[in-house]
């Protein structure tokens, strides 16, 4: 009860008398109706360091495309205000990030409020003795400054807010693996330096109207190192319990209906792909938490719930961080031994369901005169308990055996791939001599399917096919990327062609699947006749294909290509993935 009363006092509309005036926010002074522009973040970052010089460091870790500083506040009672000192002291690091979608800005205002309460020793007492907090108030800074009313039309408050995407129109929460955005590249540098045990990503959900105020999702729970999943589950369970004690109604799944706008369809839990924060960090053997307050709660409520979530995370890491840190380091050691072992690339949610009680509102569904489709309308004056299905059994889907040694990237692609690997802190080396006939595996696509539209500035690519033993010349300057390293899961996720967020899937090798050289049809006609005359068996095979495959028989280009593929001029590299697997380190 004392703690609840204190939180209410902290969140009062008027600034606290005992708080230094220069550490209060526009949000507080407005009764949490408004949020600030980025100049307040700059001012507060310096003000916190000035007020607590031995406990807080304000640091710039990047600069946006529009030239704004990307700022983080590092806080610790142990003097570990640098990554080196944190490592020397063996302290777990908690990185809390607001404003990756800058219209969902609860995390900025809640984070400053929580940081002040912790530094004043009123909340999470002693938590900064046993961990280092790295707080990024706004990740998407340029998007934050695209400021205006109704930037989030399906969200209640604040009066004005930033924009979802960056100035370059990147959605940063799709960018963790491909790391196109300068902001993401700066964040990965920060992550590589500090190696946070726990990465907390603060959001506001979209969706329908219901009573629940927040979802807390953590990985690894379904994915990643099996032993580390227990730590992820404990973090999720404990934070949900803390929030429930403070009056929230948290759920452990993303509260979006299985069928859009249909409450009775229920919910589906699952494991994220690594383009998202909660899919990415398990590949590094670290924990990620997604906090999603509910968009239809008002801004004061959402800031309070986000604030409570931040405090809970800090308390949980203070209590269990050392133990979880050892589990994570053990996962690193296990990852080094993943070579030759099965690795899961994707997960799926089974059809197994259980019925849950969900706190919604009375609603009606009727055809709309505007859109012509059935629309749901909610009556928020009439709370209603829904009995709906939840699918939450998550199992491995696509699995591969990691190569016994690693991957070889030909010299022609080495610089591009090396730049991407370096962003993630993945170890690799360049070969200083050529290999005449290296025993490798190659992946040739039976079918290559390009995305119909651009997605995050890329035309995505999916392949059907498989790895086969081969012997290939490897040129000097090629890359060797060993699996035997702590980030082995991330290596496999980036370089296996059928992984959902591999470099290939993001279109970085599309040229390999574009046919560049052609045989003129009149030449192919002569080639076909020459081949059939020289090889009666081939002629018989061609005739049988015509008789048994109507689509082939009707397609003159396919009929001529049947022979062109058997000619010496055919491009042997067409549809060949330009990365090889090897069981022997070169």
CA nearest to 289, candidates 504, 94, 75, 17 = 94
Q: Which of 20-24, 326-330, 528-532 comes out lowest in average pLDDT?
A: 20-24
Q: Among 304, 336, 368, which residue terminates a domain?
A: 336
Which pLDDT band, with edges at 50, 70 and 90, does 20 fall under? Answer: low
Q: Using N-to-C axis directions, what is the helix angle for 411-423 and 182-194, rounded to 10°?
A: 70
Residues 229 and 300 in one domain: yes
Mean pLDDT, to the nearest integer, of 551-575? 92
**Alpha-helix residue ranges (DSSP H) falling in 460-576:** 488-495, 521-534, 536-548, 550-554, 556-564
Q: What's the whole-number average pLDDT of the chain? A: 95
Q: Is the pLDDT of residue 192 over 80?
A: yes
Residues 424 and 330 in one domain: no
Q: The domain spanning residue 162 has which CATH number?
A: 3.40.630.10
Residues 226 and 298 in one domain: yes
Mean pLDDT, to the nearest integer, of 365-389? 95
Q: Which residues are registered as beta bridge partners of 375?
A: 366
Residue 328, domain member (yes or no)? yes
Residues 66 and 141: their CA atoms lie apart, in Å, by 9
Q: How many domains does the structure of the chain reveal?
A: 4
Residues 434 and 376 in one domain: no
Q: What is the dihedral of CA 522, 526, 528, 532, to 10 degrees?
A: 160
Mean pLDDT, to the nearest integer, of 343-361? 98
pLDDT score, position 2: 38
Residue 343, domain member (yes or no)? no
Residues 569 and 586: their CA atoms lie apart, in Å, by 31
Which helix (H) or strand (E) is 185 found in, with range?
helix 182-194
Q: Which of 162-171, 261-270, 568-577 comes out lowest in average pLDDT?
A: 568-577
Q: Which two structure tokens, joined as six digits, stand for 213?
A: 């105020």
Q: Which two structure tokens, joined as six digits, stand for 182?
A: 């300068």
Residues 528 and 509 in one domain: no
Residues 105 and 152: their CA atoms lie apart, in Å, by 11
Residues 76 and 195 in one domain: yes
Secondary structure in 3-state letters for 292-320: EEECCCCHHHHHHHHHHHHHHHHHHHHHH
Q: Provide the percentage of residues in the chain whose pLDDT is more than 90.
A: 94
At 405-461, the pLDDT tens digits run: 999 999 999 999 999 999 999 999 999 999 999 999 999 999 999 999 999 999 999
Residues 94 and 164 in one domain: yes
Instruction: Give the count of beta carbons closer than 10 Å to the beta carbon of residue 303.
Output: 28
Residues 352 and 159: their CA atoms lie apart, in Å, by 42
Q: Which two structure tokens, joined as six digits, stand for 68?
A: 């704004």
pLDDT score, position 196: 98
pLDDT score, position 1: 38
Residues 157 and 65 in one domain: yes
Which is it for the CA torsion 344, 350, 356, 358, positive or negative?
A: positive
Q: Which two structure tokens, joined as six digits, stand for 418?
A: 């090396």
pLDDT score, position 571: 86
Which pLDDT band, with edges at 50, 70 and 90, does 570 fall under? Answer: confident
Burial class (CB in 10 A: 0-12, 13-18, 19+), 579: buried
Residue 345, domain member (yes or no)? no
Cα distances from 99 to residues 102, 180, 255, 273, 570, in angstroms, run 4, 18, 20, 20, 51
Instruction: Give the count of beta carbons closer than 10 Å to the beta carbon of residue 449.
Output: 12
Largest Cα span, the chain: 97
Q: Which two structure tokens, joined as six digits, stand for 449?
A: 């399917």
* Residue 127 DSSP class: G
Residues 440 and 298 in one domain: no
Contact 543, 579 (CB under 8 A): no
Residues 221 and 190 in one domain: yes
Q: Which two structure tokens, joined as six digits, stand for 6?
A: 């204190």
CA nearest to 90, candidates 425, 335, 315, 324 = 324
End-to-end CA distance of the chain: 64
Which pLDDT band, with edges at 50, 70 and 90, does 4 fall under? Answer: very low
Residue 342, domain member (yes or no)? no
* Residue 272 DSSP class: P
Residue 344, domain member (yes or no)? no
Q: Which of 194-208, 245-259, 516-530 comes out lowest in average pLDDT?
A: 516-530
Instruction: Give the count of beta carbons closer than 10 Å to the beta carbon of residue 4.
Output: 12
Q: Which residues are registered as beta bridge partners of 356?
A: 388
Residues 498 and 531 in one domain: no
The string of DSSP codes covering 204-232 is EE-S---S--EEEEEESSSSS-HHHHHHH
Q: Among 284, 310, 336, which residue terminates a domain?
A: 336
Residue 346, domain member (yes or no)? no
Residue 488, domain member (yes or no)? yes
Residues 28 and 15 in one domain: yes
More confident residue, 381 or 15: 381
At 464-510, the pLDDT tens digits run: 999 999 999 999 999 999 999 999 999 999 999 999 999 999 999 99
Residues 130 and 23: their CA atoms lie apart, in Å, by 24
Give the structural domain span for 382: 351-396
- Token look-up 């009672």 returns 77
Q: Which two structure tokens, joined as six digits, stand for 557?
A: 């280009």
Encode 324-363: b = buried (16+ Cβ within 10 Å), e = exposed: bbebbeebbebbeebbeeebbbbbebeeebeeeebebbeb
Residue 341, domain member (yes or no)? no
Phi and psi angles of residue 275, each rounded to the nearest 5 degrees, phi first: -65, -25
Phi and psi angles of residue 259, each rounded to the nearest 5 degrees, phi first: -120, 130
Burial class (CB in 10 A: 0-12, 13-18, 19+), 262: middle
């Amino acid at each position: 009860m004392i703690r609840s009363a204190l939180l209410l006092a902290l969140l009062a509309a008027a600034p606290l008398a005992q708080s230094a005036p220069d550490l209060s926010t526009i949000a507080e002074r407005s009764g949490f109706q408004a949020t600030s522009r980025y100049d307040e973040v700059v001012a507060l970052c310096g003000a916190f360091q000035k007020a607590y010089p031995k406990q807080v460091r304000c640091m710039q870790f990047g600069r946006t495309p529009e030239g704004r500083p990307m700022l983080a506040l590092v806080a610790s009672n142990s003097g570990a205000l640098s990554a080196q000192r944190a490592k020397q002291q063996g302290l777990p690091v908690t990185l809390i990030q607001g404003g990756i979608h800058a219209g969902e800005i609860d995390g900025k205002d809640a984070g400053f409020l929580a940081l002040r309460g912790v530094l004043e020793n009123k909340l999470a007492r002693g938590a900064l003795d046993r961990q280092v907090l790295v707080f990024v108030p706004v990740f998407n800074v340029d998007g934050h400054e695209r400021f205006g009313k109704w930037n989030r039309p399906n969200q209640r408050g604040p009066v004005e807010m930033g924009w979802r995407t960056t100035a370059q129109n990147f959605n940063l929460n799709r960018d963790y693996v491909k790391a196109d955005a300068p902001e993401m590249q700066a964040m990965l540098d920060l992550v590589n330096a500090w190696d946070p045990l726990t990465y907390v990503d603060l959001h506001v959900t979209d969706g329908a109207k219901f009573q629940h105020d927040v979802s807390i999702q953590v990985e690894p729970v379904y994915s990643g190192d099996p032993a580390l999943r227990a730590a992820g589950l404990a973090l999720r369970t404990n934070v949900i319990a803390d929030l429930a004690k403070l009056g929230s109604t948290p759920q452990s799944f993303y509260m979006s209906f299985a069928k859009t706008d249909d409450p009775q369809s229920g919910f589906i839990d699952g494991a994220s792909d690594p383009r998202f924060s909660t899919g990415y960090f398990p590949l590094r053997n670290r924990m990620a938490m997604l906090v999603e307050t509910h968009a239809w709660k008002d801004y004061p409520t959402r800031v309070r719930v986000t604030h409570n979530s931040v405090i809970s995370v800090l308390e949980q890491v203070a209590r269990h961080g050392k133990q979880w840190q050892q589990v994570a380091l053990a996962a690193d050691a296990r990852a080094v031994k993943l070579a030759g072992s099965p690795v899961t690339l994707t997960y799926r949610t089974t059809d197994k369901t259980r019925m849950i009680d969900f706190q919604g509102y009375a609603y009606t569904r009727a055809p709309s005169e505007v859109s012509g489709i059935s629309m749901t309308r909610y009556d928020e004056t009439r709370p209603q308990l829904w009995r709906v299905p939840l699918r939450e059994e998550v199992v491995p889907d696509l699995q591969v055996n990691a190569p016994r040694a690693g991957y070889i990237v030909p010299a022609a692609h080495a610089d591009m791939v090396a730049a991407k690997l370096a962003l993630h802190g993945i170890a690799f080396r360049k070969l200083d001599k050529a290999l005449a006939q290296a025993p490798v595996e190659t992946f040739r696509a039976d079918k290559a399917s390009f995305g119909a539209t651009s997605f995050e500035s890329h035309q995505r690519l999916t392949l059907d096919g498989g790895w086969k033993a081969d012997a290939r010349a490897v040129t000097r300057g090629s890359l060797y990327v060993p699996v035997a390293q702590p980030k082995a899961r991330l290596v496999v996720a980036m370089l296996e062609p059928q992984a959902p967020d591999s470099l290939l899937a993001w279109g970085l090798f599309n040229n390999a699947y574009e046919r560049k050289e052609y045989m003129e049809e009149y030449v192919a006609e002569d080639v076909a006749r020459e081949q059939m005359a020289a090889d009666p068996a081939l002629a018989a095979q061609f005739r049988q294909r015509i008789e048994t495959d109507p689509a082939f028989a009707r397609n003159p280009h396919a009929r001529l290509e049947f022979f062109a593929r058997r000619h010496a001029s055919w491009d042997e590299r067409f549809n060949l993935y330009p990365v090889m697997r090897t069981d022997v380190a070169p």
